[in-house]
């Protein structure tokens, strides 16, 4: 288009007006598009969250019902709609492991290792990893993972959970015949754990298994204190104490008899020597 010098300002004003109207039109378009997208997205997100919850619940139920294959499918779907949900990830690892098929067990291990790489300080991942390493007969790795679980992070503080992991570790150490280490873990667990009847009884029982009768009796007595109002619990604690006392008495008698027999043997030997 040919514009003369006189027409220039007029054309310029016309263009400015046209551009301004176009910009306004664009702003309105963006506003309308944004509003539509916003409401659609809100509905979309809510729908996905709902799907994630439903599939997660289905997965948990399947796992509780001992149907790991169904649980795997459900939990994988839940993770599609809510990626990175830690609880579902751990449940999935558990479900994979529960299939008792070597491929899935391997997959479970790899999956857990992957989760651990992403968050090595998270207690529940380390606990699951420890359990899997126990199954895979990797005792040192399992013990390391248990310890990492104890010192790892837990939702809501994790006092209870840490104590429970320590007890599980102690059980494993007893099974591994490392009684000294188990004894130590149980004493720490006893110090850390809240004093409840069940916990004290459990620690006492494990200490008994770790051949630490004296400490076991202490915990049974604590359990007796904690179970003042419950007759059954009191009886159980008393029985345990009585059992330990009986064992201790028997041990004392045995020791005394051994001492006596040793003392009897010594003069006889001296006499024999004199002859």
Of 67, 107, 135, 147, the one binding other proteins (CB under 8 A) is: 107
Tell me the sheet residues that pair with 153. 122
Tell the burial category of 122 from Cβ atoms under 10 Å away from its Cβ (0-12, 13-18, 19+).
Answer: buried
Q: Does 144 bind other proteins (CB under 8 A)?
A: no
Q: Does 34 bind other proteins (CB under 8 A)?
A: yes
Q: Which is nearer to other proteins, 65 or 246 (CB)?
A: 65
Of 22, 153, 248, 270, the one binding other proteins (CB under 8 A) is: 22
Of 10, 20, 24, 47, the one binding other proteins (CB under 8 A) is: 47
**CA 116/CA 130 separation, integer angstroms:** 11
- H or E segment at 16? helix 7-64
Q: Which is nearer to other proteins, 44 or 151 (CB)?
A: 44
Q: Is the dihedral of CA 207, 212, 216, 218 positive or negative?
A: negative
Give every CB contact of residue 154 below 8 A, 6+ residues apart in sequence.
Answer: 123, 124, 161, 162
Q: DSSP H helical segments within 65-122, as ranges?
A: 68-81, 86-98, 102-118
The answer to whether 169 touches 185, Cβ cutoff 8 Å, is yes
C-alpha count within 13 angstroms, C-beta hemisphere, residue 141: 13
Provide, rounded to whole angstroms, the least separation between the CB of residue 77 and other proteins: 4
Provide, rounded to whole angstroms, the least separation between the CB of residue 65 and other proteins: 18
Q: Does 181 bind other proteins (CB under 8 A)?
A: no
Q: Does 178 bind other proteins (CB under 8 A)?
A: no
Q: Which is nearer to other proteins, 115 or 142 (CB)?
A: 115
Tell the burial category of 207 from Cβ atoms under 10 Å away from its Cβ (0-12, 13-18, 19+).
Answer: buried
Residue count at the site for other proteins (CB under 8 A)?
50
Provide, rounded to whole angstroms, the least separation between the CB of residue 135 and other proteins: 17
Q: Does 197 bind other proteins (CB under 8 A)?
A: no
- Residue in the block written with tokens 């570790």: 169
Q: What residue ranges bind other proteins (CB under 8 A)?
A: 1-5, 7-8, 11-12, 15, 18-19, 22-23, 25-26, 29-30, 33-34, 36-37, 40-41, 44, 47-48, 51, 55, 73-74, 76-77, 79-81, 83-84, 89, 92, 103, 106-107, 110-111, 113-115, 117-118
């Amino acid at each position: 288009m040919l514009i003369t010098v006189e027409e220039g300002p007029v054309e310029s004003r016309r263009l400015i007006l046209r551009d301004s109207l176009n910009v306004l039109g664009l702003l309105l378009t963006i506003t309308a598009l944004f509003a539509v997208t916003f409401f659609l997205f809100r509905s979309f997100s809510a729908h996905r969250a709902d799907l994630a919850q439903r599939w997660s619940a289905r997965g948990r139920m399947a796992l509780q019902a001992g149907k790991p294959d169904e649980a795997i499918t459900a939990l994988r779907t839940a993770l599609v709609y809510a990626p990175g949900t830690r609880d579902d990830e751990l449940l999935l690892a558990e479900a994979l492991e529960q299939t008792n098929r070597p491929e899935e067990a391997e997959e479970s291990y790899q999956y857990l290792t992957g989760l651990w790489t992403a968050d090595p300080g998270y207690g529940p991942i380390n606990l699951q990893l420890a359990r899997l390493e126990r199954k895979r007969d990797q005792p040192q790795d399992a013990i390391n993972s248990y310890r990492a679980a104890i010192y790892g992070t837990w939702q809501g503080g994790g006092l209870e959970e840490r104590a429970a992991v320590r007890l599980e570790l102690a059980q494993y150490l007893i099974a591994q015949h490392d009684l000294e280490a188990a004894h130590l873990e149980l004493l720490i667990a006893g110090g850390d754990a809240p004093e409840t009847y069940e916990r004290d009884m459990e620690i006492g029982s494990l200490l008994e298994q770790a051949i630490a009768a004296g400490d076991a009796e202490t915990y049974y007595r604590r359990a007796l204190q904690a179970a003042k109002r419950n007759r059954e619990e009191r009886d159980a604690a008393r029985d345990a104490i009585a059992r330990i006392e009986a064992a201790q008495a028997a041990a004392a008698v045995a020791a005394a008899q051994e001492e006596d027999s040793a003392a009897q043997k010594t003069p006889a030997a001296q006499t024999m020597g004199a002859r």
